[in-house]
Amino acid sequence: MSEWTTPPYADPTRFEEHEITLGSGERAVPGTLTRPASRSEVGVVLLSGGGPFDRDETSGPNKPLKDLAWGLASAGIAVLRFDKITHTRPDVMNEPGFTPYDEYVPHAVAAVQMLREHADQIFVVGHSMGGKAAPRIAAEDPSVAGIVIMAGDTQPMHHSAVRVMSYLETTNPEAVPPGTAELFQRQAAVVDSPDLSADTPAADLPFGMPGAYWLDLRDYDPVVTAAKLDVSILVLQGGRDYQVTVADDLPGWRQGLPDASIKVIDADNHLFFAGTGPSALNDYAIAQNVDPAAITALLDWLP
């Protein structure tokens, strides 16, 4: 079975790693601080995408956030990443009123505060739904110097889920049964309904996530939130990404953030793995590392 391997741009002799804890009590989560021996000018908090991901955003044999952490730390940047509360406590999704705010913001803000002990300027780098959440973190903590949105979606997630399922029905029919997109279409209509409430049965909603979660997602506009920030912003997008796309999501960032730096890496898929041809679900099962071009884009933009 394939396993994660050290990416070519990482030099483990240039940094050290320490286990940390964010939060307290039942909401405490573990994480990893990856840093050079001396204080850094720049620190980065990494946020993983939607779903109950660990600190490395482990996907099969791949660990994209570990790639990012090791690549950035090899260049002298202190990096903090952590397990999501939905990874350490999957039952939290069933708690009344639990929202994406609860899933991301408290631990991310705690991470920013902890990283201040090791770096002068703190940036938040979020991938996918983590990228969508990044403006929220900077709005919550004005000490954040900038944010990086890696494949962050601007299209409402319940709408993009229909598009993605339609794509997968064609490209990976063995993994997505016929009629899946139609089911998601019906569920998306429930999210759009003015009757959506915290009491709406989760079984009637996309991915079985509760009504309060979808109410929060429906009401949160990442572009509007980001546009109100007085911070540096970089948007990174993979040209071969079928989940968050150049056609459906990137225009929102372009139009809403005219002063942001925006870079499309044509060869990359949603996890910023390089390849050719149409991207497919099966690509994620192949052991690989984040494209060096993505690491270079981050290092070129960070101060």
Res 114: pLDDT: 98
Other beta carbons within 10 angstroms of residue 280's beta carbon come to 17
Residue type, 156: P
Q: What DSSP line would sit under the chain, residue for residue?
A: -------TT--GGG-EEEEEEES-GGG-EEEEEEE-SS-EEEEEEEE--SSS--TT--BTTB-HHHHHHHHHHTTT-EEEEE--HHHH-GGGGGSTT--HHHHHHHHHHHHHHHHTTTEEEEEEEEETHHHHHHHHHHHH-TT--EEEEES---S-HHHHHHHHHHHHHHH-TTTS-TTHHHHHHHHHHHHHSTT--TTS-GGGSGGG--HHHHHHHHH--HHHHHHT--SEEEEEEETT-SSS-TTTTHHHHHHH-TTSEEEEETTB-TT--B-SSS--GGGGGS-----HHHHHHHHHH--
Tokens of 282: 């099966």
Burial 234-268 (b: 16+ CB within 10 A, else e): bbbbbebbbbbbeebbbebbeebbeebeeeebeeb
For 258-295, how does the pLDDT look when each residue is reduced to its tens digit (9 = 90+)? 999 999 999 999 999 999 999 999 999 999 999 999 99
8 A C-beta contact, residue 47 and residue 130:
yes
**pLDDT surpassing 60 at residue 164:** yes
- For 197, how many CA atoms within 13 A lie in the half-sphere containing its CB? 2
Q: What percent of the chain has pLDDT over 90?
A: 97
What band does 175 get if pLDDT is binned at 50, 70 and 90? confident
pLDDT over 70 percentage in the chain: 100
36 closest CA partner among 53, 54, 16: 16
Per-residue pLDDT for 210 more than 90?
A: yes
Fold assignment, 12-154+221-301 = Rossmann fold (3.40.50)
Of the pLDDT bands very low, low, confident and very high (cuts 50, 70, 90), residue 169 is very high
What was the pLDDT predicted at 61? 96
Whether residue 1 has pLDDT greater than 80: no
Token pair in block for residue 275: 């390849």
Average pLDDT over residues 125-147: 98
**More confident of the two residues 174 and 53:** 53
Q: How many angstroms separate the Cα of 62 from the Cα of each of 59, 77, 151, 233?
A: 5, 22, 17, 27
Rounded Cα gap, residues 156 and 144, in angstroms: 26
Token look-up 């909603």 returns: 205
Flag whether pLDDT at 228 surpasses 80: yes
> What's the whole-number mean pLDDT along residues 235-242?
98
Q: Is the pLDDT of residue 217 over 80?
A: yes
**The pair of three-digit structure tokens given for residue 77, joined into one six-digit string:** 């940047």
Q: Return the structure tokens found at 11.
A: 């030099």
Instruction: pLDDT band for 2, please (50, 70, 90 cuts).
Output: confident
Q: What is the pLDDT of residues 3-49, one digit of tens each?
A: 999 999 999 999 999 999 999 999 999 999 999 999 999 999 999 99
Domain locations in the chain as residue ranges: 12-154+221-301
The span from the CA of 246 to the CA of 266, in Å, is: 10
